[in-house]
Amino acid sequence: MNPFLSDWTTAFNLPPFDQIKDSDFAPAFDAAFDQSRAAITAIAGDPAKPDFANTVEALERSDALMDKVAGVFFNLTGANSNPALEALQRDLSPKFAELHSETMMNADLFARVDTLFKQRTTLGLTDEQNRVLTLYHRMFLRAGAALRGDDRTRLSAVSKRLAILGTAFTQNLLADEREWFMLLGDDELDGLPDFLRDAAAEAAKERGEKGYAITLSRSLIVPFLQFSTRRDLREKAYVAWGARGENGGKTDNRSIVTETLALRQERARLLGYASFADFKLEPEMAKTPSAVRDLLMAVWQPAKAQADRDAAVLTGMMQDEGVNGDLEPWDWRHYAAKRRVAEHDLDEAELKPYFQLDRMIDAAFDCATRLFGVTFRPLDVPLYHSDARAWEVLKNGKHQAVFVGDYFARPSKRSGAWCSRFRGQSRLDGDVRPITVNVCNFAKAPEGQPSLLTFDDAHTLFHEFGHALHSMLSDVTYQMIEGTSVARDFVELPSQLFEHWLTVPEVLQKFATHSVTGKTIPTDLLGRLLAARNFDQGFSTVEYTASALVDLDFHAGPAPTDPMQRQAEILSGLGMPAAIHMRHATPHFAHVFSGDGYSSGYYSYMWSEVMDADAFEAFEEAGDPFDKDLAARLERHIYSAGGSREADALYTAFRGRLPGVEALLRGRGFTESA
């Protein structure tokens, strides 16, 4: 029996991972496509007059089996992929696009939704129902429901091709990241601390090699760039890291990018927009490309000024060591780490033993308990990989969610960190509670040793757990608006805001304990760590903002015929410091080219940071980072509200007003005139 085609009797209706085989997915998807099409046909052809129940609520139920199968499949293709799953993913991409087009361009179905939308003020809908109806109507229009004739046919073809290209981009990137590693001999470990040697030894072992391996996982390559005194090896590793997706051959993404940008612009024109950025930004908080550019440039100028000053200092340090020539991108992190030791007496090798993975998980859980009253109970259940673990989440003694954490890098996992779900929250047919997963790529320690995080890794853990809380605390009726189903430039607010609690001194004093001695982080070291929180912000802000500006420019005008040349022109026009590269160069910019998710939307991290900086200032003004009244408002209007209202209304309900950029600049240690 195919496990997807029967009811699950597992604890909390978790997917029965011990029963699911790769061969189960294709027939399960076939059944799901058939079920979804049959449901859409029935809704569109219903002879009864359209009402909210037989149209909108029926649409909410139409993909039940698809959600069940896809929720497992797409988590596995990101976190534990293999050739069989990747082949099926390539086959599925155009099928999903085709089903979406069929649904959105079903004239009878859209007529029912359109009729309800025009009558919405007379239907006696709740606020939530009115919101869901409005979003469905907008979704149909933005998918081309009002198009006719050749335009309609062409948009379907464009959507199908874009789905194929996004999957190919993702799989090419995963292949490049999986296949490259640099083996090191005992004579090539100069400068590497014990924790990095241990992690590199574990990475080599995972690949069936002896010695030490540096992979393209950020948790390995970044500390290598910081600590290795071998400039030639730093260069080799950095060049490979930056060349993902542009190595030539079958995994090269550059032609995919060119075609993707052209098709996106065509899609926008078919729908009546001047550019893809105009189309994409219309439903977001920012609304227009000019509003995005204004924000990014307000931050770019002070960040670049700081980065230029920092580059001069680092160049001097390098030349004092007898290294002639210019500061290169593979030098920046190395000399910045030395500068941090010199100016803040802060060494990653001294700091890292205090950031044990398990203790940081405990810290995130404890902050969630103190803020929102949720508690966590470990579960012993089958999962999709031995590294993954699960907890039951309870609130007021009642089941709230299941949380899955999958923290370690491995060849079957794509790079980066993300939050997703096996099941979303809804109350349409009973109280359906979410199953939420955080996926990270931290370096795994040898067996028997605790896995250690950098301070940046700990921020990543808190960030993704903030997304998880947004999903797990969701309290709405309709899945259309549950959890993280919000404007793209609002979705990063709950995650980035939760990061602030990592740097609350009482949190670190409780959970930052030494992996060997068990002692709490010394007060002096904690003070130095917090004093250095804005260290090298010029670098990190420039590399991020450059990526966001390139993304915006690519989509705000005519599609470039040579994106790599256009990328170079944009960076030159900005005066990009030579020793800093974009955080995500175009051929490996998965946020933007693995799908539409962050296309024209990479700015959203900074847009959300404007809000998260301002939101945490509310707790600082209250004098208590765990103020109960503020936490209750935060949960009610942000973490549990999903997309039940427009994003600006949700934020205003919490804070009483919308924020300006000032709190962000203060938080990064910049001034507008810097």
Catalytic residues: 464
Q: Is there a contact between 224 and 215 (Cβ–Cβ < 8 Å)?
A: no
Give the strands of the sheet with 374-379, arranged side by side: 374-379, 389-395, 398-408, 435-442, 418-423
Sign of CA dihedral 38, 66, 89, 20: negative
Helix (H) or strand (E) holding 195: helix 194-206
Closest C-alpha to 557, from 614, 600, 610, 604? 600
Alpha carbon distance 118, 120 (integer Å) = 6
DSSP 635: I
DSSP 452: B
Q: Report the distance separating Cα 390 and Cα 464, nearest Å.
A: 15
Q: Where are the beta strands (DSSP E) in 372-475?
A: 374-379, 389-395, 398-408, 418-423, 435-442
Taking alpha carbons only, the member of 402, 313, 318, 344 closest to residue 532 is: 344
Of 499, 517, 487, the C-alpha closest to 607 is: 487
The one-letter amino acid code at 418 reads W
Using DSSP, state whether 553 is helix, strand or coil.
Answer: helix
H/E element, 556: helix 537-556
Q: In what helix (H) or strand (E) does residue 182 lie, and over which residues does it extend? A: strand 181-184
Q: How far apart are CA 254 and CA 248, in angstroms?
A: 9
Distance CA 202, CA 409 (A): 11
Dist CA 456 CA 468 (whole Å): 18
Closest CA to 78 of 204, 171, 184: 171
- Enumerate residues 6+ apart whose C-beta is below 8 A from 198: 445, 446, 449
Report d(CA 661, CA 190) in Å as an integer: 43
Residue 434 is given by DSSP the state P
CB within 8 Å of 179: residues ≥ 6 apart = none
CA of 341: how far to CAs of 335, 336, 529, 580, 669, in Å? 10, 9, 11, 21, 19
Question: Which whole-number Å values give the CA distances from 438 to 206, 402, 411, 463, 464, in the listed order?
Answer: 22, 11, 17, 10, 6
Q: Which residues pair with 181 in a beta bridge?
A: 215
- φ and ψ at 499, to 5 degrees? -55, -30
The helix (H) or strand (E) run that includes residue 464 is helix 455-472
Which H or E run contains 213? strand 212-215
Query: Which H/E stretch holds residue 637?
Result: none
**Phi/psi at 643 (5° precision):** -100, 35
CA distance 436 to 301: 39
